Chain A
Amino acid sequence: MNRVRAWCLAPTAGVLATLFLIPLAILLGYALLTRGAYGGAFPPWTFENWQRLADPLYLGILGRSVAVALVSTAICLVLGFPLALFIARAGRRKHLYLYLVILPFWTSFLVRTYAWMFLLRDTGLINEALLALGLIEEPLPLLYNYGAVILGLVYGYLPFMVLPLYATLERLDPALLEAAADLGARPWQTLRRVVAPLSMPGIRAGSLLVFIPCLGAYLTPDLLGGGKTILVGTLIQNQFTNARDWPFGAALSLGVMAVVMALLMGLIRRQDEGVL
């Protein structure tokens, strides 16, 4: 039996080892080497890349990235919770609504991000319409700022918040909501004292699934944020392309990973402490 299990797991283990662990080891090696003039990484071994992470310039970018990811996650939670609750209570229609939530996945994320550019740019649909209606004199600066980045991130990752929230809310016994009302709790008190605590697993899972990709996001900040809003994803990408500083790019990647891991550990520990 154990043998069968081992063989069944072998392909997965193989894929993870070759595509995840080995590249990670290479990244760790790069991060300890010196940059070459045209990219690549060469001896001698050094800790200099790590020391540069402490540079206020880079710490600032990392801090801003964490802030953007946090704000995006919070907005996803605020928008996603009522939506998930609505779908979970929608009876026979919930399958239709779930289908609509994942519908955007049917087209490429890149194409959808370009679509936002068409909407938001100075000569985009929104500004043209507002100008035509005479509501504004000049195009509103909708694109190439943090607002546009957060909008794009929320749009892109909202389904990752809604789906785990839906999964926990759908399992919530409706009798508990009736019991709360029966005992005198008004709807918002029921939400705060019964629904929210019981959907914590979904809130945690959804927040992680949104926060992690938002922190490392490259495409959205690059396309919707433009050159003025450098976030850590763009910074890393720059090191491997224009800046040709692979070792520093590797150190940055591992730094972001460390932030995510620390967060994950903290959340897992809290989850173990609670009964749920």
Chain B
Amino acid sequence: MGNVLELNRLTKHFREQVALESLDLTIPEGEFFSLLGPSGCGKTTTLRLIAGFEEPTEGEVWLRGRRLNGLRPYERNVSTVFQSYALFPHLTARENIEFGLRHRAGGWRADAPQRVRAVMEMLQIADKAERKPAQLSGGEKQRVALARSLVVEPDVLLLDEPLSALDPNLRKQVRAELKALQRRVGITFLFITHDQEEALSLSDRIAVLNAGRLEQVGTPQDLYLRPKTRFAAGFLGPVNWINGVGVRPEATRVMHERPSEEVRALPATVENAVFLGNCIHVEARLATGEQVVAEVSRLNGTFRHGEQVHVWWREADELAL
């Protein structure tokens, strides 16, 4: 399988402001790829450049070997799930889903009603077909938006923080469904998010962006365990920085007695210990003054404020930047 999407030194400036600087990315067919970063990092700009809502200042977008620069959004075979869903309020769910089939190249074919029905059944919204968006719940609107974009069978589906408008309980459920859906339809997903947990749990690969620049691309494991920059390390999860070495809280251990010589260990004072059920969240201050956070199994004993302890970790668990 080849690459479906290629970004080549893609750059976007808004007046004097750099939104995106020379981004190179290659996304193979069928991948669930996430762009992860804080707001203003350039992830939404990247999506808008691919969709054609903005034109790049420099660089190129290639889709299945076709250069997209200069093409209007309706000339590009990508489709977008908008953050606000952007459903047409005057059309029913079914009419919203039919919209793309009526206007895209090829037009309304004989099998169109069948395709609309199939996608509605897949997303379990067949019984909501004749409702207007105002009569749908947040989760239902999201499904209609997904159905509307999927039914046109785009080369790449662009998803602009599609889970952010849902309430937290629903978000986890929809996240799992989204992953299953992507496997089922096999379409390449380009997923925009600022939520590292979402990116880690959904993606085949993730690109971390910061201030318009690419920090690192890799699998979730690569990024979490082998981050190349301090920013990538910190954005994917909390890190204890001890003498310039990064250790994740779950790899940081705390014990009362002195550990063996083979591991790295430092004396510390417990500042706070919170029982969270499945683990104990221990905050300790090292003699050097640095604060360390550890997630310790409750089987390793109890910790109290002011206790002298030893903080230790294995060399293999250090983040090598």
Binding site for B on A (CB under 8 A): 173, 175-176, 178-186, 189, 193-194, 197-198, 275-276
The answer, yes or no, to whether B99 is at the interface (CB within 8 Å) is yes
State the Cβ distance, A271 to closest chain B Cβ, in Å: 13
| Interchain CB contact under 8 A, B82 and A179 | yes
Given known A193-B99, A275-B132, contact A182–B88 (CB-CB < 8 A): no
Given known A175-B82, A175-B84, A275-B134, contact A181–B89 (CB-CB < 8 A): no
| Interchain CB contact under 8 A, A185 and B84 | no
> Which B residues are in CB contact (< 8 Å) with A197?
90
| Interchain CB contact under 8 A, B79 and A275 | no
Interface members, chain B 117-157 (any A CB < 8 Å): 132, 134, 148-149, 152
The answer, yes or no, to whether B53 is at the interface (CB within 8 Å) is yes
| Interchain CB contact under 8 A, B103 and A185 | yes
A276 to B103, CA, bound (A): 24
- The SS class assigned to the A binding surface is helix
The answer, yes or no, to whether B104 is at the interface (CB within 8 Å) is yes
Given known A184-B74, A275-B132, contact A179–B90 (CB-CB < 8 A): no
> Which B residues are in CB contact (< 8 Å) with A178?
51, 53, 73, 80, 82, 86
| Interchain CB contact under 8 A, A185 and B74 | yes
State the Cβ distance, B146 to closest chain A Cβ, in Å: 13
| Interchain CB contact under 8 A, B88 and A179 | yes
| Interchain CB contact under 8 A, B73 and A181 | yes
Given known A182-B74, A182-B79, A184-B152, contact A189–B86 (CB-CB < 8 A): no
Query: Of residues B99, B104, B132, B149, which shows the largest number of chain A Cβ atoms within 10 Å of its Cβ?
Result: B99
A198 to B132, CA, bound (A): 13
Could you mark each residue 294-311 of chain B with 1 if its beta carbon is under 8 Å from any beta carbon of chain A, else 0? 000000000000000000
Return the chain B residue nearest A183 by Cβ: B100
The answer, yes or no, to whether B105 is at the interface (CB within 8 Å) is yes
B103 CB contact (under 8 Å) in A173, A184, A198: A184
The answer, yes or no, to whether B172 is at the interface (CB within 8 Å) is no
> Which A residues are in CB contact (< 8 Å) with B78?
182
Return the chain B residue nearest A186 by Cβ: B74
The answer, yes or no, to whether B258 is at the interface (CB within 8 Å) is no
A193 to B103, CA, bound (A): 10
Apart from A178-B80, A182-B149, 10 more pairs, CB < 8 Å: A178-B51, A178-B73, A178-B82, A179-B82, A181-B73, A182-B53, A182-B74, A182-B79, A186-B74, A198-B88
Return the chain A residue nearest B51 by Cβ: A182
A88 to B273, CA, bound (A): 57
A250 to B103, CA, bound (A): 55
| Interchain CB contact under 8 A, B79 and A198 | no
10 tightest A-B contacts by CB?
Answer: A184-B104, A183-B100, A181-B73, A184-B103, A175-B86, A179-B86, A185-B103, A197-B90, A184-B74, A182-B80
A107 to B52, CA, bound (A): 46
| Interchain CB contact under 8 A, B73 and A173 | no
| Interchain CB contact under 8 A, B86 and A173 | yes
| Interchain CB contact under 8 A, B104 and A183 | yes
State the Cβ distance, B22 to closest chain A Cβ, in Å: 25
| Interchain CB contact under 8 A, A179 and B104 | no
| Interchain CB contact under 8 A, B90 and A275 | yes
The answer, yes or no, to whether B13 is at the interface (CB within 8 Å) is no
| Interchain CB contact under 8 A, A186 and B103 | yes
State the Cβ distance, A200 to closest chain B Cβ, in Å: 8
> Which A residues are in CB contact (< 8 Å) with B134?
275
The answer, yes or no, to whether B72 is at the interface (CB within 8 Å) is yes
| Interchain CB contact under 8 A, A181 and B132 | no
> Which A residues are in CB contact (< 8 Å) with B73?
178, 181-182
A276 to B132, CA, bound (A): 11
State the Cβ distance, B97 to closest chain A Cβ, in Å: 10
State the Cβ distance, B75 to closest chain A Cβ, in Å: 9
Could you mark each residue 61-103 of chain B with 1 if its beta carbon is under 8 Å from any beta carbon of chain A, else 0? 0000000000011100011101010111110000000011001
> Which A residues are in CB contact (< 8 Å) with B99?
180, 183, 185, 193
> Which B residues are in CB contact (< 8 Å) with A276?
89-90
Given known A182-B74, A184-B74, A186-B74, contact A198–B89 (CB-CB < 8 A): yes
